[in-house]
């Protein structure tokens, strides 16, 4: 009995003590909700940190506080930012990481290393590139009534659903960031007055930002990668003439299903060609021009849209090749299925990738037309 | 030797005993090691290692069934003579204790790295050992029952790993034989160590009910389940992390889970770790049990309970000493050699020896 008592007391004491060493109380923490990194003069780094201030009373709404710090590395700047706030900065609720355009053109891995190394960091934070400086967007503090970090986080989430931008978090780009087998793409944020616009994709090659796609191309890029979101729609001009008037000349359609078939072929002379076959079944969303009860007309539309979309795909792939962004993971396919070819090509993959011949082919098939004809 | 009711376990419990002894710290680092050695073929290596282990299990079983009512410590003197037998028995105890110490030390390292960074190492060691002592001092039946219950956590671990397939890319595996068959087989050798623990047969074999065939079946099924589990985890990690990134992460399984979040739970890796702590404690408990049965046999007339405390103390000291990575490397090296010696070579010699000298126990069929 006596021994039981001693054992149980010891157990209780130890259990409680273990908590003491590692406790990290929320009331002692200042939570980082977003962080932006920019290039500062003299090769330094400007970090903008958004922290959430909880109000003292119930009536006040929570507010964002923005801290700026200049230093050599992200960790260095964070420590400097910590000097400017009471209590301790904590990053485990971080929602977004923004990287300024100029900084992204350099290697981005050194900026992200601290997030990957720290066991407490939030790896599910969103990451994006901004037009101009990241600090300009975070300094908005609020968009409408929504705090900036939440607004960006929510906006990114909703745009992921509409196939405008890729679904990426810090964690999901980690494999691609070091791997030579594929390049990643990130959302590209643009400041529009007092709002933030997200509809474009920033392309990367080898951890460096190399170019931007237009909104339509961004969606096409994701479809070519077979990363379709819930809602995907295009608005396409119908006739080639430029003088046509008004919205009569357009069709908007939504893709219900997209099936991709990608094949990487290597010719004897080491020329790599990639065939991309996409089959879409689409529904018409807006077509003020005419009625859709004629089968012949639908066939005509199918043909027209197929051609227009194939052209768009070609343009997108061309832009990606110019940016050297191997977003489709062609190198990965080579490594896996043509290892000898890869051994010969990997030295100069960036420029060899630009020589890859892409043959996209998109088939559009209208199956739904809404509740009127 | 009469076996008291409380020490008898069923064959099902025996199977779970083998499972729980096998699953230990190795599971977290195995994918990393396999990828380093065999690239995309790492999962094949794991399967091969499982087959090798199966062969070893048959050897151990062949030895044990010749002495159906003796533990390792009581049949050793029968084969080699009293003095040598006792010395070998003590050597086995040393091996068991060192295994427990090494696992404990790896465990403290991972918990210290991932969760409790500020907690001193000795506290982690002590807390784990205290729970193990509490379990090990009970009769075998109680231990076995807990092992059965805790095996369900493995299912949860499998379910959690399934989330990884959301970001899976199967081309990472190809070309499967990139490293060459030579390296794949070499890697299988590496995969043997995370699978250790089936040695528990040598100690608990006489306490299992039923015929020898059923016991072999139970141990084999246990081993097979674990090999499949390990292969699954290695495979999962190979398709999630690209070959270029694998060298950078030593616990890929946790790293993968860290990035996921649910509505209410943000850090699934912590959830996984808490389950894993359970599994590791049972592995440590199993080693501790083997050692204390030996010590009990030699010094306390078969009462293992009395040996548990100082056995645990030795394990604690061993683990405490190994804070320096070079010492844990040393432990690892010693263990690898002694594993071959104690689990493969010696049992084979004993088996041959006992055949030659026909020292069969009275109860053989």
Question: How far off is chain B from A193, nearest CA to CA, in Å?
Answer: 33
Establish if A340 belongs to a structural domain: yes
Q: How many CB atoms neighbour CB A261 within 10 A?
A: 11
Task: Note whether A202 and A117 are same-domain residues.
Answer: yes
Establish if A57 belongs to a structural domain: yes
Establish if A2 belongs to a structural domain: no
Decide if B123 and A17 are in contact by the 8 Å CB cutoff. Answer: yes
Question: How far off is chain A from B350, nearest CA to CA, in Å?
Answer: 42
Burial per residue of A115-132, b for 16 or more beta-carbon CB atoms within 10 angstroms, e otherwise: bbeebebbbbbbbbbbbe
Question: How far off is chain B from A73, nearest CA to CA, in Å?
Answer: 20
Contact B26, B158 (CB under 8 A): no
What φ, ψ does residue A146 adopt, rounded to 5°? -95, 135
Question: How far off is chain A from B25, nearest CA to CA, in Å?
Answer: 19
- Name the helix (H) or strand (E) containing B272: helix B268-299
Q: Give the integer Cα–Cα distance in Å for B123 and B100.
A: 17
Q: Does the model's pTM come out above 0.95?
A: no
Decide if A119 and B117 are in contact by the 8 Å CB cutoff. Answer: yes
Question: Which residues of chain B neighbour A18 with C-beta distances below 8 Å?
Answer: 116, 119, 123-124, 127
For testing the chain A interface, which of B119, B167, B242 should be mutated: the one with the most A CBs within 10 Å?
B242
Decide if B243 and A174 are in contact by the 8 Å CB cutoff. Answer: no
**pLDDT reported for residue A140:** 87
**Any CB–CB contact under 8 A between B265 and chain A?**
no
Burial per residue of A91-109, b for 16 or more beta-carbon CB atoms within 10 angstroms, e otherwise: bbbbbbbbbbbebbeeebe
Nearest to A332 among B124, B171, B241 (CB): B171
Q: Give the integer Cα–Cα distance in Å for B144 and B8.
A: 10
**pLDDT reported for residue B194:** 85
For strands A126-130 and A96-100, give the pairing. Answer: parallel
Selected residue with higher pLDDT from B53 and B243: B53
Question: How far off is chain B from A164, nearest CA to CA, in Å?
Answer: 19
Question: How far off is chain B from A192, nearest CA to CA, in Å?
Answer: 31
Q: Give the integer Cα–Cα distance in Å for A289 and A248.
A: 5
A263 pairs with which residues across the strands? A275
Question: Which residues of chain A neighbour B259 with C-beta distances below 8 Å?
Answer: 123-124, 169-172, 174
The CATH number of residue A337's host domain is 3.30.300.210
The residue out of A181, A213, A245 marking a domain boundary is A213
Q: Give the integer Cα–Cα distance in Å for B334 and B326.
A: 12
For testing the chain A interface, which of B133, B258, B261 should be mutated: the one with the most A CBs within 10 Å?
B258
Task: Note whether A52 and A153 are same-domain residues.
Answer: yes
Contact A124, A169 (CB under 8 A): yes
* Cβ-Cβ contacts under 8 Å for A89 (sequence gap 6 or more): A29, A30, A32, A49, A51, A78, A81, A82
Task: Note whether A134 and A45 are same-domain residues.
Answer: yes
Long-range contacts of A189-197 (CB under 8 A, 24+ apart): A189/A98, A189/A128, A189/A129, A189/A130, A189/A131, A189/A137, A189/A152, A190/A130, A190/A131, A191/A130, A191/A131, A191/A132, A191/A136, A191/A137, A191/A140, A194/A140, A194/A143, A195/A143, A196/A137, A196/A140, A196/A143, A196/A151, A196/A152, A196/A155
B329-343 average pLDDT score: 88
- Name the helix (H) or strand (E) containing B213: helix B212-240
Task: Note whether A52 and A186 are same-domain residues.
Answer: yes
Range of the domain at A140: 26-213
**pLDDT reported for residue A188:** 93
Question: Which residues of chain A neighbour B260 with C-beta distances below 8 Å?
Answer: 124, 171
Given a cut of 90, whether residue B262 has pLDDT beyond it is no
Alpha-helical (H) ranges within A23-147 are 74-84, 101-104, 109-117, 134-138
Q: How many CB atoms neighbour CB A16 within 10 A?
A: 9
Contact A205, A324 (CB under 8 A): yes
Contact A305, A220 (CB under 8 A): no
Q: Which of residues 128-147 of B touch A (CB under 8 A)?
A: 130, 134
Task: Note whether A180 and A301 are same-domain residues.
Answer: no
Contact A177, A205 (CB under 8 A): no
Task: Note whether A109 and A249 are same-domain residues.
Answer: no
Given a cut of 70, whether residue B358 has pLDDT beyond it is no
Q: Which residue of B has its CA nearest to A21?
A: B119
Establish if A284 belongs to a structural domain: yes
Task: Note whether A209 and A247 are same-domain residues.
Answer: no
Q: Prior bond to A76 cis, omega within 30?
A: no
Task: Note whether A41 and A160 are same-domain residues.
Answer: yes
Decide if A15 and B127 are in contact by the 8 Å CB cutoff. Answer: yes
Nearest to A18 among B127, B173, B240 (CB): B127
C-alpha R_g of chain A: 26
Q: Give the integer Cα–Cα distance in Å for B328 and B334.
A: 10
Residue with tokens 């599971």: B27
Residues making up chain A, counted from first to last: 373
Given a cut of 70, whether residue B108 has pLDDT beyond it is yes
Decide if B115 and A22 are in contact by the 8 Å CB cutoff. Answer: yes
Question: Which residues of chain B neighbour A123 with C-beta distances below 8 Å?
Answer: 258-259
Establish if A362 belongs to a structural domain: yes
Please give the mean pLDDT across all residues of chain B: 85
**Any CB–CB contact under 8 A between B240 and chain A?**
yes
Q: Which CATH number fits domain B5-356: 3.40.630.10, 1.10.340.30, 1.20.1740.10, 3.40.960.10?
A: 1.20.1740.10
The residue out of A213, A234, A254 marking a domain boundary is A213
Decide if B171 and A171 are in contact by the 8 Å CB cutoff. Answer: no
Question: Which residues of chain A neighbour B134 with C-beta distances below 8 Å?
Answer: 7
Q: Give the integer Cα–Cα distance in Å for A128 and A73.
A: 19
Q: Which residue of A has its CA nearest to B239?
A: A175
The residue out of A213, A238, A256 marking a domain boundary is A213
Decide if B119 and A18 are in contact by the 8 Å CB cutoff. Answer: yes
Decide if B244 and A21 are in contact by the 8 Å CB cutoff. Answer: no
Task: Note whether A246 and A368 are same-domain residues.
Answer: yes
**pLDDT reported for residue A57:** 66
Low-confidence ranges of chain A (pLDDT < 50): none
Decide if B169 and A337 are in contact by the 8 Å CB cutoff. Answer: no
- Our count of domains for chain A comes to 2
For testing the chain A interface, which of B112, B134, B259, B274 should be mutated: the one with the most A CBs within 10 Å?
B259
Task: Note whether A208 and A59 are same-domain residues.
Answer: yes
Residues of A in CB contact (< 8 Å) with B are 7, 10-11, 14-15, 17-18, 21-22, 92, 119, 122-124, 169-172, 174-182, 329, 332-333, 335-337, 339
Decide if B258 and A172 are in contact by the 8 Å CB cutoff. Answer: no
Question: Which residues of chain A neighbour B117 with C-beta distances below 8 Å?
Answer: 22, 119
Establish if A218 belongs to a structural domain: no
Decide if B259 and A171 are in contact by the 8 Å CB cutoff. Answer: yes
Task: Note whether A332 and A197 are same-domain residues.
Answer: no
Give the number of A-B residue pairs with CB atoms closer than 8 Å.
89
Establish if A179 belongs to a structural domain: yes
**pLDDT tens per residue across span B179-209:** 778 888 888 888 888 888 888 888 888 888 8
**pLDDT reported for residue A56:** 67
Task: Note whether A242 and A193 are same-domain residues.
Answer: no
Decide if B258 and A333 are in contact by the 8 Å CB cutoff. Answer: no
* Cβ-Cβ contacts under 8 Å for A306 (sequence gap 6 or more): A362, A363, A364
Given a cut of 50, whether residue B365 has pLDDT beyond it is no
| Max CA distance (Å), chain B | 67
**pLDDT tens per residue across span B8-44:** 888 889 999 888 888 888 888 888 888 888 888 888 8
Give the distance from CA B304 to its chain's centroid.
20
Question: Which residues of chain B neighbour A10 with C-beta distances below 8 Å?
Answer: 130
**pLDDT reported for residue A368:** 85
Nearest to B114 among A7, A119, A175 (CB): A119
Q: Give the integer Cα–Cα distance in Å for A64 and B84.
A: 75
Select from A182, A190, A184, A163 the least CA-distant residue to A101: A190
Q: Give the integer Cα–Cα distance in Å for A34 and A117.
A: 18
Q: Give the integer Cα–Cα distance in Å for B181 and B44.
A: 10
Select from A143, A190, A148, A147 the least CA-distant residue to A165: A190
Region of A246 on the Ramachandran plot (φ > 0 left; ψ -120 to 50 alpha; else beta):
left
Contact A128, A200 (CB under 8 A): no
Decide if B127 and A171 are in contact by the 8 Å CB cutoff. Answer: no
**pLDDT tens per residue across span B118-171:** 888 888 898 889 889 989 988 888 899 999 988 888 888 888 888 888 778 888
Question: Which residues of chain B neighbour A176 with C-beta distances below 8 Å?
Answer: 242
Contact B229, B162 (CB under 8 A): no
Question: Which residues of chain B neighbour A167 with C-beta distances below 8 Å?
Answer: none
Given a cut of 50, whether residue B362 has pLDDT beyond it is no
Question: How far off is chain A from B107, nearest CA to CA, in Å?
Answer: 16
**pLDDT reported for residue B180:** 79
Decide if B242 and A175 are in contact by the 8 Å CB cutoff. Answer: yes
Q: Which two tokens stand for residue B182?
A: 């030579």
Decide if A176 and B242 are in contact by the 8 Å CB cutoff. Answer: yes
**pLDDT reported for residue B364:** 45
Residue A190, classed as helix, strand or coil, is strand
Residues making up chain B, counted from first to last: 365
Nearest to A178 among B119, B245, B258 (CB): B245
């Amino acid at each position: 009995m006596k021994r039981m008592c001693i054992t149980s007391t010891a157990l209780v004491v130890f259990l409680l003590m273990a908590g003491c060493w590692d406790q990290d109380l929320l009331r002692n923490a200042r939570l980082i909700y977003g962080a932006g990194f920019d290039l500062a003069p003299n090769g330094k780094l400007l970090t903008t940190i958004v922290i959430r201030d909880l109000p003292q009373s119930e009536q006040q709404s929570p507010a964002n506080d923005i801290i700026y710090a200049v230093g050599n590395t992200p960790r260095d700047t964070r420590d400097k930012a910590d000097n400017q706030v009471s209590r301790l900065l904590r990053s485990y609720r971080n929602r977004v990481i923004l990287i300024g355009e100029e900084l992204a053109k350099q290697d981005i891995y050194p900026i992200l290393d601290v997030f990957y190394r720290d066991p407490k960091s939030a790896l599910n934070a969103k990451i994006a590139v901004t037009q101009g400086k990241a600090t300009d967007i975070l300094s908005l503090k609020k968009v409408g009534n929504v705090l900036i970090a939440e607004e960006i986080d929510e906006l990114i989430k909703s745009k992921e659903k509409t196939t405008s931008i890729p679904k990426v978090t810090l964690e999901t780009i980690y494999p691609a960031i070091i791997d030579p087998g594929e390049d990643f793409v990130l959302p590209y944020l643009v400041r529009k007055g007092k709002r933030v616009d997200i509809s474009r994709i920033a392309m990367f090659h080898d951890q460096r930002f190399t170019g931007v796609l237009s909104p339509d191309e961004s969606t096409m890029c994701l479809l070519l990668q077979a990363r379709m979101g819930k809602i995907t729609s295009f608005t396409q001009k119908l006739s080639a003439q430029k003088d046509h008037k008004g919205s009569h000349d357009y069709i908007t359609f939504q893709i219900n299903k997209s099936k991709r078939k990608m094949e990487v072929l290597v010719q004897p002379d080491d020329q790599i060609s990639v065939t991309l076959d996409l089959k879409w079944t689409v529904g018409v969303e807006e077509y003020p021009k005419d009625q859709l009860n004629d089968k012949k007309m639908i066939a005509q539309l199918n043909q027209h849209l197929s051609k227009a979309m194939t052209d768009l795909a070609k343009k997108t792939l061309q832009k990606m090749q110019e940016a050297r962004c191997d977003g489709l993971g062609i190198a990965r396919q080579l490594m896996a299925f043509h290892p000898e070819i890869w051994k010969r090509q990997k030295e100069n993959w960036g420029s060899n990738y630009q020589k890859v011949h892409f043959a996209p082919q998109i088939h559009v098939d209208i199956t739904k037309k809404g509740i009127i004809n | 030797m009469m076996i008291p009711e409380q020490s008898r376990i069923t064959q099902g419990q025996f199977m779970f005993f083998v499972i729980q002894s096998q699953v230990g710290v190795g599971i977290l680092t195995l994918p990393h090691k396999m990828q380093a050695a065999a690239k995309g073929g790492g999962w094949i290596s794991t399967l091969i290692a499982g087959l090798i282990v199966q062969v070893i299990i048959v050897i151990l079983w062949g030895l044990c069934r010749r002495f159906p009512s003796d533990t390792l410590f009581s049949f050793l003197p029968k084969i080699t003579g009293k003095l040598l037998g006792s010395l070998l028995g003590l050597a086995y105890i040393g091996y068991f204790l060192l295994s427990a110490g090494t696992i404990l030390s790896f465990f403290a390292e991972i918990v210290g790295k991932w969760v409790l960074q500020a907690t001193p190492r000795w506290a982690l060691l002590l807390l784990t050992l205290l729970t193990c002592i509490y379990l090990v001092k009970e009769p075998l039946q109680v231990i076995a029952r807990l092992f059965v219950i805790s095996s369900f956590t493995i299912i949860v671990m499998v379910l959690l790993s399934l989330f990884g397939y959301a970001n899976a890319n199967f081309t990472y595996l190809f070309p499967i034989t990139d490293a060459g068959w030579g390296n794949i087989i070499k890697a299988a050798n590496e995969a043997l160590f995370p699978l250790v623990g089936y040695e528990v047969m040598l100690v608990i074999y006489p306490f299992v009910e039923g015929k020898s065939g059923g016991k072999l079946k139970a141990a084999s099924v246990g081993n097979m389940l674990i090999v499949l589990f390990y292969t699954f985890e290695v495979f999962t990690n190979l398709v999630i992390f690209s070959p270029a990134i694998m060298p950078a992460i030593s616990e890929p399984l946790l790293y993968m889970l860290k990035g996921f979040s649910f509505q209410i739970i943000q850090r699934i890796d912590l959830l996984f770790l808490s389950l894993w702590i359970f599994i590791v404690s049972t592995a440590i408990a199993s080693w501790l049990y083997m050692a204390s049965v030996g010590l009990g046999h030699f010094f306390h007339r078969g009462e293992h309970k009395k040996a548990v405390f100082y056995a645990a103390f030795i394990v604690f000291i061993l683990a405490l000493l190994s804070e320096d990575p070079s010492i844990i490397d040393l432990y690892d090296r010693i263990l690898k050699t002694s594993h071959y010696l104690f689990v493969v070579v010696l049992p084979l010699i004993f088996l041959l020896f006992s055949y030659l000298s026909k020292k069969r126990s009275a109860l053989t069929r």
